[in-house]
């Protein structure tokens, strides 16, 4: 909102109104004179400085912002001009002030004013523009709280807080210079003594010099020229400062991102895995299993070791990501050892020799049926690099395999992606605070009251993730506790009453430390392991499995293996048995049969004809009578 002062400035800038400018001078001449007098202690020089300030105002009237607090601008300009003209005196005065005896808090305000007046304007220069303008309006112009708030564009309470903040900053500035005052003492001294009456006739002479171009002293003109140079240089300094800050910010962001890539961390904790069950006796119920985990993250690489849900099936699981490949390892060495002991020496030879099973696929997200909780841990501690490279509201792959989706996922299909929205944390490493995945266009029989389009278009929230509490470590913020929920249709495959909770995973971190202990983020094989390799199964239908003992083979090594060639042969045979190919053969068979019969008929006709010709040539001619 434009103040009355700025309306007069605009009136003078548009039409050169002398009455408007004279009103401004009469209104603020005492303020400008007081600022200059406190700086110079020389009444004659103060008169010249006052005239110079209003000349500068006349020349800068067109460039002032409508939101400018004119009293603050005039005070700063007077301080610029006084500083330029009194550098030597000001340095001497600073030395005197530093040696001045500290005043007592209980001494009267008049004595306090004598001590703070020489340093007041320099102390005001230490304030920010908002606090400076608030002090000007309240104490130098004597406005009430409502008027101060209106001038600053805020309410009375906010204006009161802004003024109090400015007084507190002034108190700290004076305290550093050996002058101890309370904020109440400062407020009283400023209200009573900050503005002094200017000499009679100074307002008229300043108006004449600024508007009418009346002759002024050479020293006044030099002050005006110097002030304009100072103000121009100040703007240049501001621009340079902004550029420097921008460069520093860019460097800081680069350093922060480098730290995020190069500084790893290890998280230890547990997952309460709650899974929906159904039985004829109990109906729908939930079973909770606690699972310990350890996760190590370094940039875009991560590694998780998960405890077992069923010791009879496997000992532990490892899910990890390196070089945009995701690995799964299940170690069931204990199960195989117990099985051999139960079978005896003779039958034990018939059992498989592998002690682990695994899988590898292309990507960066964990999506394995045997390790659903890995998706929740990934969201909590390893997902920042994926989410920062994506756009909220766009399609994003879901880090779970067993979740509600549109249509069946067939072998060879690429990983499914759903609409997703998320909110990342402000602090490094910018892990998500919340994530929501939505499934759209589900079949009409899964109907839901929240459908947003046609009868066959729906939008269902199928996965949610929320951080409950945080843990700070060395300026980084990690989730201490978070919850991931996977929803599903009811037992009849419908959703009129809303989706049911299928799985809930509460992830709790018990210890977080910086650093990782891994040289390679690929799982270490416990022995002979059968591996299902899905890296070549991106829509091609190629299924590849092989045994490995000494580590995970690279893609190039797999392509050179006999197992890869055998898988390619099986895929080619599967293509021959594809439904479309069988349909094409089915349409071609009648035409082939008809052509074959036609060809046989032609061949038979030609054979009969050739035989008749041959018999005609061999028959004897008739005898003559």
Question: Each residue of 149-166: pLDDT tens digit?
Answer: 888 888 887 888 888 888
Model confidence at 258, pLDDT cuts 50, 70, 90, reads very low
- For the ranges 239-248, 250-259, 366-375, 477-486, which has the lowest average pLDDT? 250-259
Task: For residue 408, give the 3-state DSSP assignment.
Answer: coil
CB-based contact 507:269 (threshold 8 Å): yes
Model confidence at 500, pLDDT cuts 50, 70, 90, reads confident
Domain spans of the chain, in order of start = 4-240, 265-560, 570-602
For residue 320, give the nearest of 380, 398, 378, 389 by alpha carbon.
378
Task: For residue 548, give the 3-state DSSP assignment.
Answer: strand
Tokens of 180: 């101890």
Model confidence at 224, pLDDT cuts 50, 70, 90, reads low
Asked if residue 208 has pLDDT above 80, the reply is no
- For the ranges 11-15, 29-33, 492-496, 569-573, which has the lowest average pLDDT? 492-496
Name which residue leads in pLDDT, 4 or 625: 4
Asked if residue 407 has pLDDT above 60, the reply is no
From the centroid of its chain, how far is CA 354?
45
CB-based contact 163:146 (threshold 8 Å): no
Q: Cα(41)–Cα(89) distance, rounded to whole angstroms?
A: 9
In angstroms, what CA-CA distances link 612 with 31, 536, 603, 608?
Answer: 137, 66, 15, 6
The interaxial angle of helices 109-124 and 70-85, nearest 10 deg, is 90
Dihedral of the CA atoms 559, 565, 567, 573 (nearest 10)?
A: 140
Global model pTM greater than 0.85 = no
- For the ranges 178-187, 340-349, 391-400, which has the lowest average pLDDT? 340-349
Ranges of beta strands (E only) in 442-521 are 459-473, 476-488, 500-514
Q: Cα(552)–Cα(557) distance, rounded to whole angstroms?
A: 10
Q: Cα(507)–Cα(291) distance, rounded to whole angstroms?
A: 10
Asked if residue 195 has pLDDT above 70, the reply is no
The reported pLDDT for the residue numbered 53 is 85
For residue 534, give the nearest of 524, 525, 546 by alpha carbon.
546
Asked if residue 40 has pLDDT above 60, the reply is yes
- For the ranges 94-103, 119-128, 424-433, 542-551, which has the lowest average pLDDT? 94-103
For residue 69, give the nearest of 26, 31, 97, 116 by alpha carbon.
31
Mark 587-607 as b/e (b = at least 16 C-beta within 10 Å): eeeeeeeeeeeeeeeeeeeee
Q: Cα(518)–Cα(268) distance, rounded to whole angstroms?
A: 15
- For the ranges 4-8, 36-40, 484-488, 584-588, which has the lowest average pLDDT? 584-588
**Residue 345, number of CB atoms within 10 A of its CB:** 8
Work out the mean pLDDT of the chain and round it to a whole number: 75
Share of the chain above pLDDT 90, in %: 8
Q: Count of alpha carbons within 13 Å of 501, Cβ hemisphere only?
A: 15
Name which residue leads in pLDDT, 221 or 596: 596
Q: Cα(353)–Cα(530) distance, rounded to whole angstroms?
A: 10
Instruction: Note the helical H segments in 208-309.
Output: 218-262
The burial class, CB within 10 Å (0-12 / 13-18 / 19+), for 306 is buried
Asked if residue 532 has pLDDT above 50, the reply is yes
Asked if residue 302 has pLDDT above 80, the reply is yes
- Cis upstream peptide for 429 (omega within 30°): yes
């Amino acid at each position: 909102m434009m103040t009355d002062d700025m309306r007069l400035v605009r009136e003078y800038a548009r039409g050169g109104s002398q009455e408007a400018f004279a009103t401004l001078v009469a209104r603020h001449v005492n303020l400008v004179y007081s600022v200059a007098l406190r700086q110079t202690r020389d009444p004659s020089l103060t008169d010249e400085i006052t005239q110079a300030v209003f000349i500068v105002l006349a020349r800068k009237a067109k460039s002032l912002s409508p939101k400018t607090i004119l009293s603050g601008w005039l005070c700063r300009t007077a301080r610029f001009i006084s500083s330029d003209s009194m550098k030597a005196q000001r340095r001497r005065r600073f030395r005197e002030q530093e040696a001045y005896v500290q005043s007592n808090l209980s001494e009267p305000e008049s004595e306090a004013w004598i001590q703070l007046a020489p340093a007041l304007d320099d102390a005001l220069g230490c304030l920010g523009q908002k606090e400076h303008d608030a002090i000007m309006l309240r104490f130098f112009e004597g406005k009430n709280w409502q008027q101060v708030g209106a001038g600053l564009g805020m309410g009375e309470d906010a204006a009161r807080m802004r003024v109090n903040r400015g007084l507190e900053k002034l108190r700290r500035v004076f305290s550093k210079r050996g002058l101890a005052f309370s904020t109440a003492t400062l407020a009283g001294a400023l209200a009573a003594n900050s503005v002094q009456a200017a000499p009679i006739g100074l307002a008229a002479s300043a108006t004449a010099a600024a508007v009418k171009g009346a002759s002024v002293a050479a020293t006044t003109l030099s002050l005006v020229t110097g002030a304009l140079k100072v103000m121009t240089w100040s703007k240049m300094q501001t621009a340079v400062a902004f550029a420097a800050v921008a460069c520093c910010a860019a460097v800081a962001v680069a350093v922060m991102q480098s730290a995020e890539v190069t500084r790893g961390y290890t998280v230890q904790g547990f997952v309460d895995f709650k899974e929906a069950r159904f039985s004829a006796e109990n109906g729908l119920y939930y079973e909770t299993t606690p699972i310990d985990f350890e996760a190590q993250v370094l940039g875009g690489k991560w590694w998780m070791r998960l405890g077992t849900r069923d010791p009879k099936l496997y000992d532990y699981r490892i899910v990890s990501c390196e070089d945009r490949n995701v690995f799964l390892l299940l170690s069931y060495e204990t199960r195989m050892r117990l099985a051999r002991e139960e079978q005896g020496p003779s039958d034990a030879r018939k059992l498989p020799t592998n002690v682990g099973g695994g899988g590898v696929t292309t990507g960066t997200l964990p999506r394995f049926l045997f390790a659903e909780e890995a998706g929740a841990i990934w969201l909590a501690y390893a997902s920042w690099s994926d989410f920062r490279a994506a756009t909220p509201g766009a399609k994003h792959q879901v880090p779970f395999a067993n979740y509600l989706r549109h249509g069946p996922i067939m072998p060879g299909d690429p990983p499914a992606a759903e609409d997703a929205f998320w909110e990342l944390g402000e602090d490094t490493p910018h892990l998500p605070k919340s994530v929501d995945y939505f499934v759209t266009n589900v079949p009409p029989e899964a109907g839901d009251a929240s459908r947003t389009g046609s009868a066959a278009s729906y939008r269902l929230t199928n996965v949610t993730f929320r951080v409950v509490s945080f843990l700070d470590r060395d300026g980084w913020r990690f989730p201490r506790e978070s919850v991931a929920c996977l929803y599903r249709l009811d037992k009849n495959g419908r959703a009129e009453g809303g989706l049911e909770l299928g799985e809930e995973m509460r992830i709790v971190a018990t210890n977080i430390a910086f650093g990782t202990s891994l040289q390679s983020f690929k799982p270490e094989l416990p022995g002979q392991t059968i591996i299902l390799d899905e890296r070549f199964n991106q829509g091609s239908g190629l299924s590849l499995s092989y045994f490995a003992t000494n580590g995970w083979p690279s893609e190039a090594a797999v392509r050179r293996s006999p197992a890869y060639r055998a898988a390619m042969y099986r895929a080619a045979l599967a293509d021959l048995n594809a439904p479309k190919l069988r349909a094409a053969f089915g349409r071609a068979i009648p035409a082939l049969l008809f052509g074959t019969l036609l060809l046989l008929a032609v061949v038979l006709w030609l054979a009969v004809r050739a035989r008749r010709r041959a018999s005609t040539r061999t028959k004897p001619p008739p005898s003559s009578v």
